[in-house]
Amino acid sequence: MNRKKLATVWLDGCSGCHMSILDMDERLLEIAGQCELVYSPLVDQKTFPADVDITLVEGAVSSDADAEKIRRIRARTRMLVSLGDCAVTGNVPAMRNSFGTEKVLRRAYGDAAGALLQVLGQGVPQLLPQVRPVHEVVFVDVHVPGCPPSAETIYSVLRELLAGRKPDVTSGTRFGA
Amino acid sequence: MNPAAEVKTLVIDEMDVSARADQTILEAARDAGAWIPTLCHLDGVGDIGACRMCLVEVKGSNRLLPACVTRVEEGMAVTTHSERLVKYRRMILELLFAERNHVCAVCVANGACELQTLAQLHGLDHVQFPYRFPALPVDGSHERFSMDHNRCVLCTRCVRVCGEVEGAHTWDLMGRGVHSRVITDLSQPWGTSETCTSCGKCVQVCPTGALFEKNKVGTKLPKSRDFLMHLSVMRGGDR
Amino acid sequence: MTLEELERIAAGTKNARAAGGHEVNVCLAAGCLSQHSDALKEALEKEARKASASCRVRGTGCMGLCSAGPLVSVEPGGVLYRNVKPEDAPAIVRSAGGEPLRRLQCSRDQAFFQRQVHIVTENSGKLDPEKIEEYIAADGYKGMIRALTEMTPAAVVQEISRSGLRGRGGAGYPTGLKWGTVAKTDSAVKYVVCNADEGDPGAFMDRSVLESDPQRVLEGMIIAGYAVGASRGYLYVRAEYPLALKRLETAIGEARQLGLLGINICGTAFSFDIEVRIGGGAYVCGEETALIASIEGKRGTPRPRPPYPAQSGIWGMPTLINNVETFASVPAIVRRGAEWYAALGTPKSKGTKVFALSGKVKNNGLIEVPMGMTLREIIFEIGGGVPEGRKFKAVQTGGPSGGCIPEQFLDRPVDYESLRELGSIMGSGGMVVMDDTSCMVNVARFFMEFCMAESCGKCIPCRAGTAQMHEMLTRICDGRATHKDLEMLISLCDMVGATSLCGLGQAAPNPVLSTLRYFQDEYLEHIEAKRCRAGVCECGAAAEVRA
């Protein structure tokens, strides 16, 4: 049997969703037996490969680099999964939206924020005026809310997807779960 | 005839049901064990039919009717869950999530929020409408309570319980449309209110984390609502 | 006051006017006033004082052709002058009674004047709205006295029912049926409310009637009060109509003084008084339950119906609510009989309708036509068609609750049912003509912005739904939308229309649905080609990306 290609990606989030993936513990071995992890912050692969079957996205779209990355990933992925509240709703990263990027930077970096704002355009990803959930930027096939979704939820979602079925997500998780 | 003594028979979701003539469809449905989702409704305060979650189909009516304020009628045939109704209810919830900044993960009511629960019950896994991300204030001026407008759904339970039960009428509304907001006194900081009795009824009835007790942040059970039923019974109400 | 006394006042006024020489009438309604007709009146008065022949200058109400204001008419003879300036005053006063001034003359032979039928506006522009004697001289209050002294309340209700009059506020509910319902309720206290919270963009019928012939509305309300058994009336006028408010207050004072309003009207057992209530500028207060809340001093938000105001209205009492034009139609019906009124119009929509004709049409102004006249006749004959050789595109009726009707349906008659079939409504009478310089998506966005701003915020679908629909429409106009946005817009239209609490939200999707129905290609052009054929929208962001 051809093993499915799995990728995970980390946009603007806290990596908690990835921690929750790892929380699957021994079930990781079962998942690993059914798929090949081709791209992830957890493996040393620099470019996103073509023809990926399932990609789990953690995090919201915050910067121009995030937007570019997710568009490229969408083009190379059959089943795109928004994993966790940041990807699904914008969640905590999007809390800056009601204040504005500059105000948030000033609060965080004080007077240095002015210099930082200039630097941010050069070689460092430029923050978008607003943080948006992934599905407002590209089409998303499956949404898994939760902050983070439990290991149990992630396991059941992956099991269903690897078996070629659409998972029932909300019986096990919700916004903020 | 006294409407409380008059009995009507009707059909709710193909179930034969009897109800007093002064009962609403919502009351009759609950008595019969049929669930109709609600948000602005609260047992113990007056109904306003505003959230539209309890809309039901009634045979022979070309409009959907709010179950909380529609009286039962003889021979009525009510459908509480059609494909169309469920779709509209989901959309209402999506509109609420997109309207203000509901960040469940950092909310005091996470796990005890009626909006969050309704979303889960309706299988809401994401919000299709663009989030509006309005800039809204938080009023932490009261000694014991806080008001976070980011989490308010404008159900006006606080306004009603304060006016109808406590009798203080500290809460009211200002503004129009998406700019509507609940206010204390004439939009003065809550902590400076001269009408507020600090009874906390508003906080307990708030369905979300908009109104919360400062010392309950991080606890599992931020709200307790039972008092309203007791008050209602003690005051001679029938609920 | 008896009928004889009334006729004595009428005769006295007529004689005085006949003896007063020529009358130079200046329109002092808001349209002409905004063109400084008050300064014109002063100039005319100054000239009249200097003139040797007797000549009287009067301020009157609206003469209809607002786009040609300030308007002046000279009686007897009915010569009409257009675009009159203060410096024209000497020439006009000199020519009074002689050869008309060709340079300023506005022909009364044109279709604008010839095709109209005046009932509600029969006195408009002819009498001084601040003089009750002039209204009485024009058969005013005859209908009321007839009703009070010769008819039972039930007979009045029947007369209105037989006339076929339907609510002129927009929905077209049979007026007689409404009156009958309130009349039948068993209550010692009932109220009559006149809804003058006119707020549709492009609508100024009620304002004009109140400014031009306020007594007529009072008479209609008194007759209604008698018919339904109410002794108190409220006139709910928006604060943005200061002139109408002033004239109403004057009119109420005058009517009270003559015993036509107040205790034991005309010596009968019937007492009725009217109080003016001023709206605070919320469009939603035109919705009857919100209006009632506002009169009660509460926040003006609608509540679910039933109970209908006819059973439980102001302070829980049975309340009759009609619009200004409906009440203004009543005196003539009672005076001249239901049969006369029912002979006008179409089988299901009787009588006449006042329209405020505006937008891209030569003759902007206030018109009154029999129901059943076609849109083409109204726009192209009475309105004179689209100016500057441009092409007609659509006519908007019914304001934010109505829709846009394209060229191919212009031969449809104007009545309640036909307009509804076309995806619009009669509405209160606003009629905005648009030519090919209007973008229909942008028009839909304008109305959605209006609904969003005027939503009271009580129910979620209207409050948050209009904001989302406005966002989708803005994206389309800006060339940022995808087909998914259009799909969301359409599903929101369905949902907001079906689930909103009151008419504002229920009808808010109508401008979108009607433009989608007739101008879908314009929507698609904005989305696919990032192009606005009317050149209104700046689909600029997308254009930049392409370049």
Model confidence at B217: pLDDT above 80 = no
Q: B211-220, C116-125, C407-416, C433-442: which range is least confident on average?
A: B211-220
The answer to whether B115 faces chain A, any CB pair under 8 Å, is no
pLDDT higher than 90, residue A124: no
Are C272 and C220 contained in the same domain?
A: yes
Phi, psi dihedrals of residue C400, rounded to the nearest 5°: -65, -15
Instruction: Of C260, C276, C364, give the one whose Cα is nearest residue C324.
Output: C276
Q: pLDDT, tens digit, for every residue of C421-450?
A: 999 999 999 999 999 999 999 999 999 999
Q: Report yes or no on C131 lying in a domain.
A: no
**pLDDT-derived band of residue C546, with 50, 70 and 90 as boundaries?**
very low
> Which chains would you list as touching C if contact means 3+ CB atom pairs under 8 Å?
B
Ordered by where they begin, the domains of chain B are 7-81 (3.10.20.740), 87-219 (3.30.70.20)
Band (pLDDT 50/70/90 cuts) for residue B103 is: very high
Domain for residue C536, yes or no?
yes
Taking the Cβ of residue C297 and every Cβ of chain B, the question of whether any pair is shorter than 8 Å is answered with: no
Please count the residues of chain B: 239
- B50/C461 CB distance under 8 A: no
Residue contact B125–A135, C-beta within 8 A = no
pLDDT value at position A123? 79
**Cβ contact B105–A85 (<8 Å):** yes
Last residue of a domain, one of C91, C108, C125: C108
CA dist B216 and B209 (Å) reads 11
- Residues in chain B with CB shorter than 8 Å from the CB of C303 are 48-49
Residue of B nearest to C501 (CA): B50
Handedness of CA C443, C446, C452, C453 (dihedral sign): negative
What's the pLDDT at C286? 95
Q: Report the distance separating Cα A150 and Cα A160, nearest Å.
A: 16
Residue B179 has phi, psi (to 5 degrees) of -95, 5
CB A142 within 8 A of CB A81: yes
Closest chain B residue to A99 measured between Cα atoms? Answer: B135
pTM: 0.94
The distance in angstroms from the start CA to the end CA of chain A is: 35
Which pairs with CB-CB distance under 8 Å and at least 24 residues apart come from B17-21? B19/B72, B20/B72, B21/B71, B21/B72
Parent domain of C492: 440-546
Subunit contact B126:A145, Cβ cutoff 8 A = yes
Q: How confident is the model at residue B238 (pLDDT cuts 50, 70, 90)?
A: low
DSSP class per residue in chain B: --TTT-EEEEEETTEEEEEETT-BHHHHHHHTT-----SS--TTS-----S-TTEEEETT-SS-EETTTPBP-TT-EEES--HHHHHHHHHHHHHHHHHTT--GGG-TTTTS-HHHHHHHHTT--S--SPP------EE--SSSEEEEGGG-----HHHHIIIIII----EEEES-GGG-EEEETTT--GGG-SS-----HHHHH-SSSSEEEGGGTT-S-----THHHHHHHHTT---
Q: Is C256 helix (H, G, I), strand (E, B) or coil?
A: helix
For chains A and B, CB pairs below 8 A equal 77
Q: Please tell me which chains touch A, using 3 or more CB pairs under 8 Å as the contact test.
A: B
Task: Tell me how far apart the alpha carbons of residues C250 and C237 are, in angstroms, rounded to a whole number.
Answer: 14
Q: Does residue C181 share a domain with residue C325?
A: yes
Q: Cβ of B103 and A95 within 8 Å? A: yes
Report, as an integer, the average pLDDT of B87-106: 97
Between C2 and B208, the more confident residue is: B208
Reduce the DSSP state of residue A130 to 3 states and report it: strand
- pLDDT tens-place string over residues C149-163: 999 999 999 999 999
> What is the number of domains present in chain C?
4
Q: Compare C97 and A163 and report the one with higher pLDDT.
A: A163
Mean of pLDDT over chain B: 94
Same domain, yes or no: C383 and C447: no
pLDDT (average), residues C484-503: 97
The answer to whether the CB atoms of B51 and C459 lie below 8 A apart is yes
Please give the interface size between B and C, counted as residue pairs whose CB atoms are below 8 Å apart.
95
pLDDT band at C543 (very low <50, low <70, confident <90, very high): very low
The CATH number for C424's domain is: 3.10.20.600
Interface check B136 vs A, CB under 8 A:
yes
B98 neighbourhood in chain C, CB within 8 Å: 464, 468
How far is B105 from chain A, CA to nearest CA, in Å? 4
Structural element, H or E, at residue C233:
strand C232-238
Asked if the Cβ–Cβ distance from A95 to B101 is below 8 Å, we say: yes
Task: Tally Cβ neighbours within 10 Å of residue A50.
Answer: 10
pLDDT for residue C325: 97
Angstroms from C307 CA to nearest CA on chain B: 10
Does C421 lie in the same domain as C286?
A: no
Domains defined along chain A, listed by start: 4-95+128-162 (3.40.50.700)
pLDDT tier at C547 (50, 70, 90 boundaries)?
very low
Q: Specify if C113 maps to a domain.
A: no
Pair (C412, C456) in one structural domain: no
Residue A112 has pLDDT above 80, yes or no: no
Same-domain check for residues C70 and C190: no
Q: Which of C407, C433, C459 is the last residue of a domain?
A: C433
Contact by Cβ (8 Å): B67, B36: yes
Do C20 and C55 have their domain in common? yes
Is the same domain home to C444 and C429? no
Residues C166 and C89 in one domain: no
Chain A residues within 8 Å of chain B (Cβ atoms): 82, 85, 88-92, 94-95, 97-99, 130, 132-133, 135-136, 140, 143-145, 147, 169-170, 174-177
Q: Does B110 touch chain A (CB under 8 A)?
A: yes
Instruction: Determine whether the interchain pair B126/A95 forms a contact, defined as Cβ–Cβ distance below 8 Å.
Output: no
Contact C468 B95 (CB under 8 A): yes
The verdict on residue C128 lying in a domain is no
Cβ pair A145:B127 closer than 8 A: no
The reply to whether C207 and C319 lie within a common domain is yes
Mean pLDDT of C370-381: 97
C118 in any annotated domain:
no
Q: Judge whether C282 is closer than 8 Å to chain B, CB to CB.
A: yes
Please determine, for residue C542, whether its predicted confidence score (pLDDT) is greater than 50.
no
**Domain shared by C78 and C183, yes or no:** no
Q: How many CA atoms lie within 13 A of B14 on its CB side?
A: 2
Q: Is residue C132 part of a domain?
A: no
For position C338, what pLDDT does the model report?
97
Choose the final residue of a domain: C314, C342, C370: C342
Q: Under a CB-based contact definition with an 8 Å cutoff, are residues B156 and B223 in contact?
A: no
- With cut-offs at 50, 70 and 90, classify the pLDDT of residue C313: very high
> Which residue in chain B is spatially nearest to A143 when comparing CA positions?
B125
B237 touching A (Cβ < 8 Å):
no
Q: Report the gap between the CA of B41 and the closest CA in chain C (Å).
A: 13
Residues 435-464, chain C, touching B (beta carbon < 8 A): 452-464
Q: What is the pLDDT of residue C269?
A: 95
The confidence score (pLDDT) of residue A1 equals 56
Q: Pinpoint the alpha helices (H) of chain A.
A: 16-22, 27-34, 64-76, 85-89, 101-109, 112-119, 151-162
Mean pLDDT of A12-37: 96
Q: Is the pLDDT of residue C544 over 60?
A: no
Query: Does residue C114 lie within any of the structural domains?
Result: no
pLDDT (tens digit per residue) in B155-176: 999 999 999 999 999 999 999 9
Candidates C456, C459, C466; nearest CB to B52: C459
Query: In this structure, what token pair is assigned to residue B211?
Result: 């109104």
pLDDT at position B239 is 44
Q: Is residue B221 predicted with pLDDT exceeding 80?
A: no
CATH of the domain at C225: 3.40.50.11540
Least confident of B230-239, C14-23, C245-254, C305-314: B230-239
Residue C530 belongs to domain with CATH number: 1.20.1440.230
Do C303 and C194 lie in one domain? The reply is yes
Q: Return the structure tokens found at C521.
A: 């290609």
Q: Is C533 on the interface with B (CB under 8 A)?
A: no
Q: What is the mean pLDDT of residues C473-479?
A: 97
